[in-house]
């Protein structure tokens, strides 16, 4: 058996110490889950950030806060009218490869909801807002780094704490990319798939909005004078949805839709919002070119002449494809196999999987950083009011992360740096 499939004495102490902390981790998770951090809840985000920063500084990190960027104002959801949250960067000097650990503090859950605490059930299952995505993952990072510090393992690490991943990382995207360019390895603690699988390949994602201006008119008296924005939007929507080709790696979805104010008036405005997914840069390019062609055609006449100012109907397109696809590259595979060996040495299995979901790992890898991003807890029903976490995975995944970091830091696992 390979030495990397067995634990050395330091790794054994890491494992045993983290398993001994299981009860403490469960209480810490309950404390974190009780702090509302959904929908841009500024007080909850600030409280959580300060608490985590204090713990990281206690093991030798220095911290900086970077101002968040504004989100595009046409996006749905989130909290465009609030101050963008900062990104906290906590850096610990050390020898060896530069390891970047990324975690987000925000959840999707309404702070006013009754789903507001960690509630225990049978068989080690607990439910609560963000319990798996990703307050459990945040604790995995804290516990692993504290265990490594206690064991005297020299690690060159940076922890990036963002607060807007669930709404697209528009405020923190620039800081994620900057941190990625200063690191050698990216580790993200998004929740594992329910069976514990490590996601090694993700689709990319983009957002878009289509807005139409028309002319209002009384339906009964002067219908012919009206120009229906809803009718035009419907025609555009049919063309946009036709771009979807799941077998070719292109997904296009539209919803919500809005338009008009009354049934007896020709609607002078309409809008829709949508999401695209793409398996690779080629698929992204096909979608972007198709959107360009649609925008060109709806803003020009049949001869190719731009419509004059005031022409109706007028169609406006907005889009941002801000999360590129995250393929399985040789460097990612090397890192994933290192994680699998660490898992096997701990008696855990670590299957590999693909998903259409996106996360900050997409941003890190698109900036050139080999990244694996489902090193968090096992759980499920994410983004629902029955989200759950398997409590036993707190210590199990903390041990996995600690052993993996220790091996990367010591050079036992070659990652091509």
How confident is the model over 210-247, as pLDDT tens digits?
999 999 999 999 999 999 999 999 999 999 999 999 99
Which residues contact residue 348 at a Cβ distance below 8 angstroms, ignoring those fewer than 6 apart?
Answer: 196, 396, 400
Domains assigned to the chain: 3-201+326-410 (3.40.630.10), 204-323 (3.30.70.360)
Residue corresponding to tokens 């390891």: 99
What value does the mean pLDDT take over residues 253-273?
A: 97
Which residues contact residue 300 at a Cβ distance below 8 angstroms, ignoring those fewer than 6 apart?
Answer: 306, 307
User: What is the three-class DSSP state of 192?
Assistant: strand
As to burial, measured by CB atoms within 10 angstroms (0-12 exposed, 13-18 middle, 19+ buried), residue 177 is: middle
Predicted local confidence at residue 82, as pLDDT:
78
Residue 62 β-bridge partners: 91
Instruction: Of 166, 130, 168, 99, give the one whose Cα is nearest residue 320.
Output: 168
Bigger pLDDT: 277 vs 81:
277
Model confidence pLDDT, tens digit, residues 360-380: 999 999 999 999 999 999 999
Name the pLDDT band for 4 (thresholds 50, 70, 90).
confident
Q: How far apart are CA 79 and CA 68, in angstroms?
A: 13
Residue 374 tokens read as 């489902």
User: What is the three-class DSSP state of 365?
Assistant: helix
Model confidence pLDDT, tens digit, residues 172-206: 999 999 999 999 999 999 999 999 999 999 999 99
Model confidence pLDDT, tens digit, residues 325-354: 999 999 999 999 999 999 999 999 999 999
Predicted local confidence at residue 76, as pLDDT:
82
Predicted local confidence at residue 417, as pLDDT:
62
Predicted local confidence at residue 223, as pLDDT:
97
Predicted local confidence at residue 79, as pLDDT:
58
Model confidence pLDDT, tens digit, residues 125-176: 999 999 999 999 999 999 999 999 999 999 999 999 999 999 999 999 999 9
Q: How far apart are CA 302 and CA 294, in angstroms?
A: 13
Q: What is the mean pLDDT of the chain?
A: 96
Q: How far apart are CA 50 and CA 55, in angstroms?
A: 9
Predicted local confidence at residue 80, as pLDDT:
53
Share of the chain above pLDDT 90, in %: 94
Model confidence pLDDT, tens digit, residues 298-318: 999 888 899 998 899 999 999
What value does the mean pLDDT take over residues 32-36?
A: 98
Q: How far apart are CA 189 and CA 375, in angstroms?
A: 5
Q: How far apart are CA 333 and CA 338, in angstroms?
A: 9
Predicted local confidence at residue 415, as pLDDT:
79
209-223: string of b/e by CB count within 10 Å (b at 16+)? bbbbbbebbeeeeee
Predicted local confidence at residue 5, as pLDDT:
80
Predicted local confidence at residue 260, as pLDDT:
95
User: What is the three-class DSSP state of 251?
Assistant: strand
Q: How far apart are CA 333 and CA 330, in angstroms?
A: 5
Are the beta carbons of 265 and 248 closer than 8 angstroms?
A: no
Helices 137-150 & 9-20 angle (0-180, nearest 10): 130
Q: How far apart are CA 236 and CA 241, in angstroms?
A: 9
């Amino acid at each position: 058996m390979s030495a990397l499939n067995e634990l050395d004495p330091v790794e054994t102490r890491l494992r045993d110490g983290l398993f001994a902390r299981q009860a403490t981790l469960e209480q810490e998770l309950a404390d974190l889950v009780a702090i509302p951090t959904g929908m841009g809840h500024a007080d909850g985000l600030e409280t959580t950030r300060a608490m985590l920063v204090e713990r990281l500084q206690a093991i030798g990190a220095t911290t900086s806060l970077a101002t968040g960027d504004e989100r595009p104002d046409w996006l749905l959801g989130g909290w465009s009218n609030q101050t963008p949250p900062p990104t906290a960067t906590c850096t610990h000097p050390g020898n060896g490869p530069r390891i970047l650990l990324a975690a987000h503090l925000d959840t999707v859950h309404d702070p006013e909801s009754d789903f507001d605490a960690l509630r225990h059930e049978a068989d080690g299952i607990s439910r609560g807002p963000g319990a798996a995505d990703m307050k459990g993952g945040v604790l995995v990072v804290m516990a692993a780094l504290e265990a490594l510090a206690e064991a005297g393992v020299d690690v060159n690490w940076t922890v990036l704490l963002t607060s807007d991943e669930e709404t697209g990382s528009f405020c923190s995207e620039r800081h994620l990319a900057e941190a990625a360019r200063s690191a050698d390895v990216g580790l993200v603690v998004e929740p594992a798939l329910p069976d514990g699988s490590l996601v090694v390949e993700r689709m990319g994602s983009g957002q878009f909005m289509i807005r139409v201006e028309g002319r209002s008119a009384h339906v009964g008296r002067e219908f012919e004078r009206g120009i229906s924005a809803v009718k035009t939007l419907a025609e555009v929507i049919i063309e946009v949805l036709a771009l979807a080709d799941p077998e070719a790696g292109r997904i296009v979805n539209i919803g919500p839709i809005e338009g008009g104010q009354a049934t007896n008036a020709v609607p002078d405005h309409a809008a829709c919002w949508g999401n695209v997914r793409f398996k690779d840069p080629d698929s992204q390019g096909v979608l972007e070119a198709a959107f360009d062609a649609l925008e060109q055609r709806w803003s020009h006449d049949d001869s190719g002449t731009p419509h004059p100012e005031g022409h109706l109907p007028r169609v406006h397109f907005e889009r941002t494809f801000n999360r590129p696809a995250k393929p399985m590259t040789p460097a990612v595979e090397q890192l994933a196999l290192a994680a699998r060996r660490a898992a096997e040495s701990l008696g855990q299995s670590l299957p590999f999987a693909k998903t259409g979901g996106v996360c900050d790992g997409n941003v890190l890898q698109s900036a050139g950083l080999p990244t694996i991003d489902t090193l968090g807890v096992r759980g499920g029903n994410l983004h629902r009011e029955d989200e759950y976490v398997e409590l036993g995975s707190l210590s199990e995944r903390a041990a996995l992360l600690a052993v993996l970091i220790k091996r990367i830091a010591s050079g036992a696992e070659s990652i091509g740096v």
